[in-house]
Amino acid sequence: MKTRRDFLKGLMVGAVATIGPSAGFAGLVAGQKRKPNVVMIVCDDLNDYVTGMEGHPQASTPNVARLAKSGVAFKRAYSNNPVCAPSRASFLTGIYPHTSKNLFWNKWFNNPVLKNSKTIMEHFKDNGYHVAGSGKLMHHHLASVWSEFKHKADYGPFVYDGKERVAHPSVPEPFRSIGAVDGSYAPLSDAPYGSNDKGGRGWIYGTWGKVNKFNYIDEENRDPTPDERNAAWAQNRINQFAKENNNKPFFLGVGFIRPHTPLHVPKKYFDMFPLDSVKVPVIKPNDAEDCHYTDVFDSDMKGLKYFRLLKESYPDIDTGLKAFTQAYLASVAAVDECIGTVIDAVDNSPFKDNTIIVVTSDHGWNMGEKDYLFKNSLWEESTRVPLVIRASGAAVPSGIAEHPVSLIDIYPTLVDLCGLRGDTRKNSKGARLDGHSLGPFLKEPKSATWDGPDAALTMIYAGEKTGNDPARQHWSVRTKRWRYILYNNGSEELYDHDVDPYEWTNLCGQSRYQKVKAELRTKLLSMNGQQNNNGTAKLKRE
């Protein structure tokens, strides 16, 4: 058996307009003639439980915090579609979901717009980069966009009962009935069927269609988790790049799974958060009463159902939230250590001063707020994500940018910083980048002037009956002060973050906020393309 210790030891076309670097940023990275390398680290379901983001007082992410001290952290960065597949398809192509009409779970490479547009990986390849990746980056993997790709997404370790993947036996019913992915959390030391089970049951990797055993004896004698494996791959690949010495820049993508469910990580991370001392999320009783999610979705929607089942599985909801929060915090701490492995590999290499590092997540996760336990909501917890960018010579150290931005801005930012040339469309059927370079905030984090909007746009899919029509979906805009939500039945929510950071009070019914609401509605409809030239809305009511 290869133990963790052994493993870590071994470790635009024709007439289409071109996209080029904006004046003042290309070539600033480290002041070198060679184009800067890029390391992009993408986590899954990581909300604002990150040191410095004030999402949870016990969150422990020292490596993300260390990176932020050498770069710029974006205080208000948001997902444009808080579900894995559409979010990744959007920010890795630089195209809003409403532009491409790739709104939910369809494969991005079959979409008429996205398949005719270059992913960020393809654009870097076309600019002479060696593009390497491993882990979960696009939700639907397409090997051809990479120069090389190592490990596909692996959500394990899973519990295997000898016949199928199941939720961990330690999780109480009825929450356990959710299943092997979203219904499971436990430390790896909790052997699901005993440490000496002879029936082929126990921990397995998450490769679909086959059963690959995950061996666990103790914390120092076990197989690496998929995230640890990808971190070690990145570390080794950076070392190899240094040995190759071919002067060719690289783009390295690393996709980490945690804190995506199932929340199975080594015991030492659970031990960081003793259950009796875990603080539950700050939740206002009956907070959902002035919200409209249940007006447009039924009670079996995952977030509503998961919260209800967690409540039914424990003596009270606080006890259930403590158990889930402990597992989530442990998973965040685990992925932070993997992030640290990659950062250390860059910092211990010749590339330290000429490598841009980006750390982010595809979306957040509601931890019980508004009786909701999942992603795919328009509230702050599902939409807000960490975003840290380090770029020597172009990003000031310890910068904190407060202007609202979103994931759609990552692609144009890297085009800008790396001085990439050429069209990001493969042909006229593709789409131009929707985002804007964050360069001004990297140079001056408190800047109020940039080419982008003063709000971040987010949508969630309303269901199959709405097809791929953006006008029939649910939307939100987040400015520095306000969040405004517009559901497709016309229901609205308005929150003032200056006085209500938890979004407890929906102000839409109060007459003194009608002007603010109207202005934000206009902004939303303008940003998502649903505003007619005469100023009337095209949003279709369900």
Q: Is 15 exposed, middle or buried (0-12, 13-18, 19+ CB in 10 A)?
A: exposed
CA distance readout (Å), 241 to 133, 253, 294:
13, 14, 52
Round to whole Å and give the CA distance between 293 and 298: 9
Rounded to 5 degrees, what are φ and ψ at 493?
A: -135, 145
Residue 8 has a pLDDT of 41
Mind spelling out the 3-state secondary structure of 293-323?
HHHHCCCCCHHHHHHHHHHHHCCCHHHHHHH
Alpha-carbon Rg for the chain in angstroms = 23
Residue 20 has a pLDDT of 39
Domain boundaries, the chain: 4-443+455-527
Q: Which CATH number does 4-443+455-527 carry? A: 3.40.720.10
Round to whole Å and give the CA distance between 233 and 452: 36
Residue 128 has a pLDDT of 97
DSSP states along 237-282: HHHHHHHH-----EEEEEE--TTSSSEEE-HHHHHTS-GGGPPPP-
Residue 195 has a pLDDT of 75
Instruction: Tell me the pLDDT of the chain (542 aa) as tens digits.
Output: 444 444 444 442 322 333 334 433 444 444 456 899 999 999 999 999 999 999 999 999 999 999 999 999 999 999 999 999 999 999 999 999 999 999 999 999 999 999 999 999 999 999 999 999 999 999 999 999 999 999 999 999 999 999 999 999 999 999 999 999 999 999 999 999 987 777 789 999 998 778 999 999 999 999 999 999 999 999 999 999 999 978 899 999 999 999 999 999 999 999 999 999 999 999 999 999 999 999 999 999 999 999 999 999 999 999 999 999 999 999 999 999 999 999 999 999 999 999 999 999 999 999 999 999 999 999 999 999 999 999 999 999 999 999 999 999 999 999 999 999 999 999 999 999 999 999 999 999 998 789 999 999 999 999 999 999 999 999 999 999 999 999 999 999 999 999 999 999 999 999 999 999 999 999 999 999 987 544 555 555 55
Q: Which residues lie closer than 8 Å to 7 by C-beta, 6 or more apart?
A: 223, 224, 228, 229, 232
Round to whole Å and give the CA distance between 159 and 186: 10
